[in-house]
Amino acid sequence: MNRELDLRKTVYELCRDDPEIMEIMKELGFDNIASPGMLKTAGRFMTIPKGAAMKGIPMDRIKETFAGKGYVILE
């Protein structure tokens, strides 16, 4: 069964539902996501596309990485 990455959900919701997402995001350059304070504050309103825009991380790279790890991307 494939796992889903819903890009409309907040980072907090995604990481709560699937903790592996946090590890993949750290690999992609979202270093601050590992901080519990950051996840519980900014993570409650931040989506991956918003965070990618702020960090300058291409969405294509994010989608390819998650797809390569067995995720189905929902937009």
Domain that holds residue 28: 3-74
Residues 39, 51, 25, CA angle at the centre, nearest 5°?
65
Output the domain CATH number for residue 43.
Answer: 1.10.3910.10
Q: Look at residue 36 in the predicted model and tell me its pLDDT.
A: 80
Could you read off the pLDDT tens digit of each residue along the chain, which spans 75 residues?
679 999 999 999 999 999 999 999 999 999 988 888 998 999 999 999 999 999 999 999 999 999 999 999 999
Q: Look at residue 1 in the predicted model and tell me its pLDDT.
A: 62
Total count of domains within the chain? 1
Using alpha carbons, select from 42, 72, 2 the residue that is nearest to residue 30. Answer: 42
